A and B are shown apart, each in its own frame.
Chain A
Amino acid sequence: KAGVTQTPRYLIKTRGQQVTLSCSPISGHRSVSWYQQTPGQGLQFLFEYFSETQRNKGNFPGRFSGRQFSNSRSEMNVSTLELGDSALYLCASSLGGGRGPSSYEQYFGPGTRLTVT
């Protein structure tokens, strides 16, 4: 079974630009979560989508948004990039259906390394 894939793997953007990151979950998984990883703040939850609906949201400004498509693929968008948005963005997928422990086993992709200059 193929794992979680994220594209692109690396991205360099300029302050003020916007960026879209993509995540394809494991086949059959309906939940996709996004995390930001930085040396200073560690791993922080951005949002979770389940069946095309945002189910949970972290404490990030409105410049960070996401969506999920009917095939469970997800995208996240960051508008008006700031230097502090430079980070590794990780996507995780799970069954998410609430039926037992395996429903919440989250499998992570390799991440997208975003550098804002």
Chain B
Amino acid sequence: GEDVEQSLFLSVREGDSSVINCTYTDSSSTYLYWYKQEPGAGLQLLTYIFSNMDMKQDQRLTVLLNKKDKHLSLRIADTQTGDSAIYFCAERESGNTGKLIFGQGTTLQVKP
């Protein structure tokens, strides 16, 4: 079945760039998503990329997609303490459905 894998923890200094990586297995996935979850809150949609794109940039966020290796990354430029949260990568199951398959989440710790 489909599976999404992420590293569990990343620590960076304020002002540095953060790169969170994700691998997925379903080659027929059309959309891949990044969500952010702060303590006690739901998931906030950050950005997503269509599978025929290699890169998408949205202000401080850059998403890179390597479809051949089924590898997705999220780069956060100039990371701030407010970026500390859990980041989830998700792929949308193929077909006429909104079902998302999530990775385990990467905890980003930003040190001042």
Interface residue ranges, A against B (CB under 8 Å): 4, 31, 33, 35, 42-43, 45, 48, 50, 55-56, 58, 90, 92, 94, 96, 98, 101, 104-111
Cα distance, A56 to B48, chains bound together (Å): 22
Q: Which residue of B lies closest to A102 (CB)?
A: B48
Residues of B within 8 A of A109 (CB): 42
Do most interface residues of chain A lie in helix, strand or loop, or is the interface mixed?
strand
Q: Which residue of A lies closest to B6 (CB)?
A: A42
Pairwise interchain contact B102-A55, C-beta atoms closer than 8 A: no
Interface residue ranges, B against A (CB under 8 Å): 31, 33, 35, 41-45, 48, 50, 88, 92-93, 96-105
Pairwise interchain contact B44-A108, C-beta atoms closer than 8 A: yes
Report the minimal beta-carbon distance from B40 to chain A, rounded to whole angstroms.
Answer: 8
Residues of A within 8 A of B104 (CB): 42
Report the minimal beta-carbon distance from B41 to chain A, rounded to whole angstroms.
Answer: 6
Most chain A CB neighbours (cut-off 10 Å) among B43, B45, B103, B105: B43
Pairwise interchain contact B99-A111, C-beta atoms closer than 8 A: no
Report the minimal beta-carbon distance from A97 to chain B, rounded to whole angstroms.
Answer: 10
Cα distance, A107 to B36, chains bound together (Å): 12
Most chain A CB neighbours (cut-off 10 Å) among B88, B96, B98: B98
Pairwise interchain contact B48-A101, C-beta atoms closer than 8 A: yes
Residues of A within 8 A of B93 (CB): 56
Q: Which residue of A lies closest to B1 (CB)?
A: A59
Cα distance, A8 to B41, chains bound together (Å): 14
Residues of B within 8 A of A92 (CB): 43, 98, 100
From known contacts A43-B88, A90-B43, A109-B42, infer whether A104 and B102 are also in contact, taking CB-CB under 8 Å. no
Cα distance, A98 to B95, chains bound together (Å): 9
Cα distance, A98 to B44, chains bound together (Å): 21
